[in-house]
Amino acid sequence: MSPSNNEKLDQVFRPIREEAKRRRKAFREAQVPKIHIGMATCGIASGALETKKAFEETLAERNIEALIHPVGCIGHCYAEPIVIIDHPDSGFPPIFYHEVTAGKAQMLAKLFLEEGDPRFEHVLGATVENDLIPSVMEFSRFNQEKRVVMEKCGYIDPEDIYDYIAEGGYSALVKVLKLTPDKIIREVRNSGLRGRGGAGFPTGKKWELAMRAEGQIKMVICNADEGDPGAYMDRTILESNPHQVLEGMAICAHAVGANKAIVYVRAEYPLAVKIVTKAIQQAKELGLLGKGILGTTFDLEIDVFQGSGAFVCGEETALIRSIEGYRGMPRHRPPYPVEKGLWGLPTVINNVKTLATVPSILENGATWFRGIGTENSPGTAIFSVVGNVVHAGLVEIPMGVTLRTLIFDICGGILNKKKFRAVQIGGPSGGCLPADFLDTPIDFDSLTEAGAMMGSGGMVVMDEDTCMVDVAKYFLDFTQKESCGKCTFCRIGTHHLLRILERLTKGEGQDNDLEMLESLSEDIKTGSLCGLGKTAPNPVLTSLEYFRDEYEAHVKEKRCPALMCRPLIAYYFDLDLCARGCDACATCCPVEAVFTTSNRKKGVDQELCVKCGECVVACPPEYDAVRKVSPPDLVPVVERAPEKK
């Protein structure tokens, strides 16, 4: 593009940027308190809507002037609903409050906003270093993270494009519009960015192939069909900062020469659909999308397509079939979608995180990006760390951090001071790693080598009370249901794997079951076309490799060492501890399996018991009389009191 065109581009963008800055300045400098409330799905699920309402009502009732600023999610799910209150007149820095229920909101509005008392007992920390309140940056959950993709998530209003522009948004797009496609792709390639969807294919290479592919019309698809039952970072990014993804899509489209793009979001994410649709509209109004972007000749239309909830549609060829209106079944590759994709056109399909990383690379340069993470996996990784871990939520760390640092330092270790058993990485396609692997660095290659995979970034931490056979069964149950049915090995093989695992957890395991699991798993891997089938046996194979003794206990002794598989355990009350006349367990039992003995203590009718464990919770801690055993035939016999006549 000629220098005069570049100047013209700046001229078009400058007023937009200045307007954003003016709005930001007016908001910042307003001499009233500002209340930032995290309003993404997870915040709303924990009650953020009620919190917001409580703030609004109390402010109106007490005549307090304050601005409420709905923001996205910062990823600290354990503390939701999260509120930041910036009250300049109080003399305190902006403060993070955690678990702000409606009641807490009313109290904070009255005591802090009106009377200036920040209520230290509810403070998580200050947002900045200061002398009054410890900053959250002193916590490893904050200071050991490295935010590239989620930098602005939870700080800006996702429904206000100016909020994003004020933070430097869309300036990467402006920069890119002045470059030739070759230069953009070279920059992305030099950055070493690998696809965040799981497989880790170099993004620059994918773009280059699409650029060189023949055809006038090309497509860009943002894959937000996040189906892994324990990962929700794509949703959080779309809900908290949709424009960063749109900007990444625009950069990609400009680089490969596409004029049409589609965001493929799951219909199960209604808020994400709504926010992205609105973001596209806003960007169009400002001329950042649509016809003749920022006065140039580059056009880009972005549509939203709602995926209907099929895990296999995360696979790119299946995703394409579903947009075309068919059952989402993968097809053979090659031809790859970059040559023949949607409607037969060259199509780039990138994950949300990949596209959301792109603007920062173009803004700061490939060298900067290479400075984060490891040699072969530069950049950051986002994990949704859930399960039996203290500070659950989304964590963005530089690649190369070890699992131990992530689980024990950043996420606070195991809940209730229990022992670490295993970590499941990569969802249904990943594997379970035992404690020996805690010092494995997190990057594409190391995880694959250990038998797990980066996958979608789901990470489930499990304590000593988790049965590995049951976890493998859970994932198999999922993949078996989601198998599209095209390949026999995947369709029938996973069914049989599941049947064997079900047998084991019921104590009906047969002698050669473990060998059968192994050989069948290998066959499914070889005989399947797409990633779903190729990786479906991973949870079984890794748990079998690292926790074989548990499998053997299930087969040989009909015993579940973790006391989790319900057909293999039994509950009883320790009669030395059970309190005479206490009825706590009997009242809460959903199936009336608890009976009274002749000396007014309790026994369990093993025929009726559904093993829900409710009596364990109900039994007062002073008695702590409920016991679990495995195998169930070890349970002591307790007689019912004879019926009164």
Partner 1 sequence: MNQELTDEEQAALKNIVSKLSTFEKQRGNLIPILQMIQEKIAYLPPETLKMVAEHLGILECEVYGVATFYNQFRFHPPGKHPIKVCLGTACHVRAGDIILENFERKLEISEGETTPDREFSIERVACVGCCALAPVAIIGETLHGNMAPSKVEGLLMRIEIEKEMAERKKQKNEPVQ
Contacts with partner 1, residue ranges (CB under 8 A): 41-42, 45-46, 77-78, 80, 227-232, 235-236, 267-268, 305-306, 308-310, 322-328, 384, 386-388, 392-393, 424, 427, 458, 460, 462, 466, 471, 474, 484, 588, 590-591, 610, 612-614, 617-618
Are the CB atoms for 458 and 427 separated by under 8 Å? yes
Q: Among residues 207 and 232, whose Cβ is nearest to partner 1?
A: 232
The C-alpha torsion from 534 through 537 and 541 to 543, rounded to 10°, is: 130
Q: How far is the CB of 368 from partner 1 (least distance, A)?
A: 31
User: How far, in Å, CA of 596 to CA of 295, rounded?
Assistant: 82
Query: Whose CA is closest to 530, among 482, 583, 473?
Result: 482
Q: Among residues 42 and 397, whose Cβ is nearest to partner 1?
A: 42
Q: Among residues 445 and 614, whose Cβ is nearest to partner 1?
A: 614
Q: Which residues contact 481 (CB under 8 A, 6 or more apart)?
A: none
Are the CB atoms for 615 and 594 separated by under 8 Å? yes
Query: Whose CA is closest to 468, among 495, 510, 433?
Result: 433
The HSE-up count of residue 103 (CA atoms within 13 Å, CB side) is 1
User: How far, in Å, CA of 384 to CA of 77, rounded?
Assistant: 10
Q: How far is the CB of 420 from partner 1 (least distance, A)?
A: 13
User: How far, in Å, CA of 335 to CA of 558, rounded?
Assistant: 49
Q: How far is the CB of 622 from partner 1 (least distance, A)?
A: 20
Q: Among residues 379 and 458, whose Cβ is nearest to partner 1?
A: 458
Are the CB atoms for 370 and 363 separated by under 8 Å? no
Q: Where are the alpha helices (DSSP H) in 152-261?
A: 161-166, 171-177, 181-191, 203-212, 233-240, 242-256
| HEC letters along 388-401 | CECCCEEEEEECCC
Q: Among residues 227 and 359, whose Cβ is nearest to partner 1?
A: 227
Q: Among residues 139 and 201, whose Cβ is nearest to partner 1?
A: 139
Distance of CA 436 to the CA centre of its chain: 25
Q: How far is the CB of 567 from partner 1 (least distance, A)?
A: 13
Q: What is the DSSP letter of 597?
A: -
| Kind of pairing between the strands at 123-126 and 570-573 | unpaired
Q: How far is the CB of 600 from partner 1 (least distance, A)?
A: 22
Per DSSP, the chain holds a count of helices (H) and strands (E) of 26, 18
Cis peptide before 330 (omega within 30 of 0): no
Q: How far is the CB of 571 from partner 1 (least distance, A)?
A: 13
Q: Among residues 322 and 354, whose Cβ is nearest to partner 1?
A: 322
State the DSSP string of 538-578: HHHHHHHHH-HHHHHIIIII---TTS--GGG-EEEE-TTTS
Q: How far is the CB of 46 from partner 1 (least distance, A)?
A: 6
Q: How far is the CB of 279 from partner 1 (least distance, A)?
A: 20
Q: How far is the CB of 525 from partner 1 (least distance, A)?
A: 22
State the DSSP string of 54-107: HHHHHHHHHT---EEEEE---S-GGGPSPEEEE-GGGTPPPEEE-S--HHHHHH
Q: Among residues 162 and 547, whose Cβ is nearest to partner 1?
A: 547
Q: How far is the CB of 387 from partner 1 (least distance, A)?
A: 5
Q: How far is the CB of 468 from partner 1 (least distance, A)?
A: 12
Q: Among residues 2 and 416, whose Cβ is nearest to partner 1?
A: 416
Q: Among residues 230 and 400, whose Cβ is nearest to partner 1?
A: 230
Among left, alpha and beta (phi > 0; psi -120 to 50; other), residue 622 is alpha
User: How far, in Å, CA of 449 to CA of 198, rounded?
Assistant: 14
From residue 38, give the alpha-carbon distance in Å to each of 48, 90, 178.
7, 22, 36
Q: How far is the CB of 446 from partner 1 (least distance, A)?
A: 22
Q: What count of other Cβ atoms lies within 10 Å of the Cβ of residue 634?
A: 11
Q: Among residues 128 and 617, whose Cβ is nearest to partner 1?
A: 617
Place of tokens 């009106």: 114
Q: Among residues 13 and 420, whose Cβ is nearest to partner 1?
A: 420
Q: Among residues 45 and 137, whose Cβ is nearest to partner 1?
A: 45
Q: Among residues 522 and 592, whose Cβ is nearest to partner 1?
A: 592
| Tokens standing for residue 270 | 């209604």
Q: How far is the CB of 460 from partner 1 (least distance, A)?
A: 5
Q: How far is the CB of 542 from partner 1 (least distance, A)?
A: 15
